Amino acid sequence: MAPKKASSRACISLHSLSYDIVDSVCEQIKTISDRTGVGMTGPIPLPTKKLKVPVRKSPDGEGSETWDRWEARLHKRLIYIDADERAMRQLMRIQIPDGVKISIQIQT
């Protein structure tokens, strides 16, 4: 008898300024997937978004035009996991570190 396929999948997207934190959360999700035996695809690394902001060094506007260039890199990962009730309950209990934004969408 073939195993029953899940009727829906969950799309989990992770965003953070630190790739180490994103990868550690991905590893936690992967261990939950292995423990519960549900199918998982990913983590799929999406392109890193570089946010650049040029700012004048001189606050008064006098002197030569010198600029500071501030940059923030936004790292994103995408994970697809079968939406099994037991696995989803364990996913909701993961301790998400500060600085990580996570969103879960159920696809039928």
Which residues in the chain come in under a pLDDT of 70?
1-6, 63
Degrees (nearest 5) of the Cα angle 106, 15, 18?
A: 150
Q: For residue 5, what pLDDT is reported? A: 57
SS3 57: coil
Q: For residue 50, what pLDDT is reported? A: 94
Q: For residue 67, what pLDDT is reported? A: 87
51-57, long-range: CB < 8 A, 24+ apart: none
Q: For residue 3, what pLDDT is reported? A: 54
How far apart are alpha carbons 26 and 60 in whole angstroms?
46
What CATH class has 16-53+66-107? alpha beta
What residues does each domain of the chain span?
A: 16-53+66-107
Locate 35 and state its tokens: 């423990």
Locate 31 and state its tokens: 């261990």
Q: For residue 71, what pLDDT is reported? A: 93
Q: For residue 1, what pLDDT is reported? A: 45
